[in-house]
Structure 1
Amino acid sequence: MSKLRQAAMRMSLAALGLAIACGQALAADLLIAMPNWPSGQAAANIIKYSIQEKFHLDVEVREMGTLIAFAGLDSGEVDIVPEVWLPNFDSLVKKYVDERKTVRLSPRGVQATQGICVTRETADKYGVRDILDLTDPKKSAVFDTDGDGKGEIWIGAQTWTSTDIEKIRAKSYGYAKTMTLLQMPEDVAMAAVDSAVATGQPIVFYCYTPHHVFQLHDIVQLTEPKHDPAKWKVVLPSDDPQWLSKSDAPVAWDASHFSIGFGSAMADRLPKVAAFLSNIDFTPEEITQMSYALQVDRQDPAKFAQDWIAKHEDRLRAWSK
């Protein structure tokens, strides 16, 4: 090997060592996995700036999907997830919280609902009030915007666990045959709802509360058979490649809620931070305000969080006790 090549190799190794050292030096103390829905983005940033202010730790927020986030919690690479939805993430909670015990959930949660909604005008004008109305070709046809004979329904964003469950529900009820199941980012779907309301066009879509759409428009959730655990057989794609054929859910969602999740390794390392996270008690009204601020007012999540904290120092003090 020539001296020039040896020198070049030494320089490369030195540069690599410096990069690794700098990367380690710049690594944040905590990593929050931020979901891609507005309230989760706002909550992630509120948690970030609250911890930085109260515990003087460097906190990074990084957007990532649920499966990656839970794998990160399990390995210790991720420390916090701001919204762990149940029953959506039941299988993940069973695996990582109950069995592996690498993830913990805050004892405080926010009550929620999930289902399929239409605008009030859609319900009244077209008689679409029950989930099985979507299986009626005449009624489903009112949602046909591309002329293919099938209506369209937004069932969620591509990365959401609820979207896979909505596919199961559509198959189980039968409207997967009469409706095209659309997957798209939530802001695009909500813009379509805004447009439909403004123009008086019928629209049907996956909905959940707390959410600003119920504050912004007159929305009606379709009626469904009451939730029956014996009929709720949900297998997720991460669990089985034949998940859809093995699943069945011809009933309403169970009562839902979400809470903050955090890694057990972080809780053992920073027990005061874990206690702080367990004391956070967002209300449904606050979650709706977060959703409205980011989705409707287009506020930056970080700026919104900083302003929120400045107005709620009393809450931070209570969470720190």
Structure 2
Amino acid sequence: MNMRKMLGAAAALVLATSSTLASADSKPELSIGYVDGWSDSVATTNVAAQVIEQKLGYKVKLQAVATGIMWQGVATGKLDAMLSAWLPVTHGEYWTKNKDKVVDYGPNFKDAKIGLIVPEYVTAKSVADLKTDTSFKNKIVGIDAGSGVMLKTDQAIKDYDLTGYKLQASSGAAMTAELGRAYDKHESIAVTGWVPHWMFAKWKLRFLDDPKGVYGAAETVNSIGSKELATKAPEVATFLKNFHWNSKDEIGEVMLAIQDGAKPEAAAKDWVAKHPDRVAEWTAK
């Protein structure tokens, strides 16, 4: 090969390489909203962001926002997506207001629910059993006053005629701390809670049956995109359709790692590295 041909081949190689780099760099940065106080929102959003960055080649900026701002952000296109929409009830009002301005990519977690949670070792099976089970000492340990599960528990105390029961308002952290102390002593305790939550990965727990349906049916946590996302990042839109957790234990691994002190990004990277088969399912064309 003469010098001119060699230079020509080298130039072609440089051009091909630079165009490949340019196409990677030309992918837009995506902005995804989440709610910082929700362990499931933090875990799910960070895992999705790692997959989008590592496997699909987009930069992702995560934005911690309040629930209403999160919905508004996606509806106006200021946010490209969120993975924390509780439907059909918990975020029902937000959905009704914004459904024509967003795209629902389906559930990333099924069987999300709220209710009263107890350790597996207690005798009580339903909320009604609390009425005659004195081991609970007429107390239900709650979270922030005014939250949905607290309002429903006030209703449950009336509907199940739990006369003498007191609903103790606290915080999510205080509730799990009290649950942990009771669990270690093998004592009866009932707390207000929900799935997905890291406490199910840490302890053996179950919901008390709710035959009166005070707490409502199971919900789904859905991934919602802006109207522009499918055009802006088609591979990400496809990923959001495929992305879902198989169980509360699967997401629980990530939530518990974060609860035990790992930074959310590090916990997500670790989970993605350990589960290549699941990531392959989510990123299949």
- Same fold, judged at TM 0.5 (above): yes
CA distance in 2, matches of 1:262, 1:158: 31
Matched, 1:311 2:284: no
Note the 1:1-321 alignment, pairs <5 A: 29-86=30-87, 87-97=89-99, 101-112=100-111, 113-121=113-121, 123-124=122-123, 128-132=124-128, 139=134, 142-143=137-138, 151-154=139-142, 156-157=143-144, 161-167=148-154, 169-170=156-157, 173=160, 178-185=165-172, 187-227=173-213, 251-284=214-247, 285-295=249-259, 297-320=260-283, 321=285
Cα RMSD of the aligned pairs, angstroms, is 3.2
1:196-254 alpha-carbon deviations (Å, 9 max, x no partner): 11134432112333444344334342232253xxxxxxxxxxxxxxxxxxxxxxx3421
Query: 1:280, CA displacement in angstroms?
Result: 0.8
Equivalent pairs: percent with the same residue?
22
Q: Return the TM-score normalized by structure 1.
A: 0.67
Amino acid at match of 2:207: Q
Listed as ranges, the gaps of 5+ residues in structure 1 are 1-26, 144-150, 228-250
Structure 2 distance, partners of 1:141, 1:305, is 37
- Summarize the Cα distance change of 1:157–1:265 in structure 2 as closer, same or farther, 3 Å threshold: farther
The alpha-carbon distance between structure 1 residues 92 and 212, as it changes in their structure 2 partners (threshold 3 A), is same
Aligned residues: 254
Distance 1:169 1:72 in 2: 35
Q: Please list every run of 5 or more consecutive structure 2 residues that lacks an aligned counterpart in the other structure.
A: 1-27
Distance 1:133 1:212 in 2: 26
Which string of whole-angstrom CA distances, capped at 9 and with x for unpartnered residues, describes residues 270-298 of structure 1?
A: 23221211111221131122222222x33
Distance 1:80 1:289 in 2: 23
Task: Compute the displacement of 1:319 (Å).
Answer: 2.8
* 8 A Cα contact 1:85 1:259, kept in partner: yes
Instruction: Tell me if the contact between 1:42 and 1:305 (Cα under 8 Å) persists in the aligned partners.
Output: yes
Residues 158, 306 of structure 1: CA spacing in aligned structure 2 closer, same or farther, 3 A cutoff?
farther
Distance 2:174 2:181 in 1: 11
Distance 1:135 1:117 in 2: 16
Distance in 1, matches of 2:57 and 2:178, equals 42
Partner of 1:4: none
| TM-score for both structures, normalised by structure 2 | 0.74
Distance 2:156 2:65 in 1: 25
How far did residue 168 of structure 1 move?
A: 5.0
Counterpart of 1:84 in structure 2: which amino acid?
A
